[in-house]
Amino acid sequence: MRGRSQQFKDFITFPLRAVLPVQESRWGLTSRPDERFEYVAREISGRVLDIGCGRHNSFINRYALGNGVGVDVFRYDGLADANIVEDMAHLPFPDASFDTVTFIACFNHIPKSERDAEVREAFRVLRRGGKIVVTMGNPLAELAIHRLVHLYDRLLGTKLDMDTERGMHEDEDYFVRDRVIVEHLAAGGFRDIRKHYFITQWGLNHLLTAQRHA
Ligand SMILES: C[S@@+](CC[C@H](N)C(=O)[O-])C[C@H]1O[C@@H](n2cnc3c(N)ncnc32)[C@H](O)[C@@H]1O
């Protein structure tokens, strides 16, 4: 976890960190991906299922200390067979087998027609009292960052944009509004929905948490 001085440094350098074409923490600054993982890590407990885990299953390996499983629909670098689940509405896990389920920067990538089914499936695999965590950026910030990263990849030949590597479908979005995420969570049976801003990203990114009560 970052100390106060690191958080202060990250806060004042956020505009620079937002536009730099790097995804790893360096030069004494925390990268935006590491930063969102860190905010999510504050919310987790017990065994974690990270849905849409992305390259190298980083959240589970580095932030949940290996206590859990990361799954993705696409075979990114660093993922094994056990990480690939093509249909996230039918997860290969028993009922109530996780304490936390996370959707980090991926809820907008779930095709619209499948969002309710994926949330219901997250509910099924969570134990009673378990928590769901969904991160989502501010709509304008999400659009700007996607465009910028896409531009860097074209101009510099980098592979920053995971979504371009996988290929986005028509039914996905660049962002989902909180009101809509809240509706999906409530329809899936979740209660006690709360919002927490990422202060060191000037509130332009945030997460929603909710509980499985019944
Ligand atoms: C922007 S990446 C985020 C990856 C990782 N969670 C992170 O924070 O670095 C979006 C992820 O959503 C995944 N994804 C695509 N379709 C999905 C679906 N139906 N359900 C869950 N995740 C999906 C993508 O494969 C990709 O890994």
d(CA 138, CA 145): 10
Ligand 1: residue whose CA is nearest its atom 13: 52
Q: What confidence score (pLDDT) does residue 78 get? A: 98
Would you state the pLDDT for residue 81?
A: 98
**Taking 90 as the threshold, does the pLDDT of residue 192 lie above it?**
yes
Give the CA angle between residues 122, 165, 155 to the nearest 5°: 140
Which is it for strands 68-71 and 126-137: parallel, antiparallel or unpaired? Answer: unpaired
Q: 180-189 contacts: CB < 8 A, separation 24 or more?
A: 181/107, 181/134, 181/136, 181/208, 182/208, 184/115, 184/116, 184/119, 185/119, 185/132, 185/134, 185/210, 187/116, 187/119, 188/116, 188/119, 188/120, 188/122, 188/123, 189/120, 189/123, 189/214
Assess whether pLDDT exceeds 90 at residue 28.
Answer: yes
The pick from 32, 56, 109, 166 for probing ligand 1's pocket by mutation, whose C-beta has the most ligand atoms within 8 angstroms, reads 109
Ligand 1 binding pocket (C-beta < 6 A) is: 33, 51-54, 72-74, 88, 104-106, 109-110, 114, 118, 162-163, 166
d(CA 214, CA 212): 6
Q: Looking at the domain 4-211, which fold is it?
A: Rossmann fold (3.40.50)
Q: What is the pLDDT confidence band of residue 18, given thresholds at 50, 70 and 90?
A: very high
pLDDT value, residue 214: 80
* Mean pLDDT, the chain, whole residue set: 96
- CB of 208 closer than 8 Å to CB of 193: yes
Residue 160 is predicted with a pLDDT of 87
The stretch 141-170 carries a mean pLDDT of: 89
Per-residue model confidence (pLDDT) at position 159: 86
Whole-model pTM: value is: 0.95
For 207, half-sphere exposure in the C-beta direction (CA atoms, 13 angstrom radius) is: 25
| Cα R_g (the chain), whole angstroms | 16
Give distance in angstroms: CA of 50 to centre of ligand 1.
10
Q: pLDDT tens for residues 123-155?
A: 999 999 999 999 999 999 999 998 998 899 999
Please check whether residue 59 is in contact with residue 43, taking contact to mean a CB–CB distance below 8 angstroms: no
Atom of ligand 1 nearest to the CA of 53: 6
Q: Is the pLDDT of residue 59 over 90?
A: yes
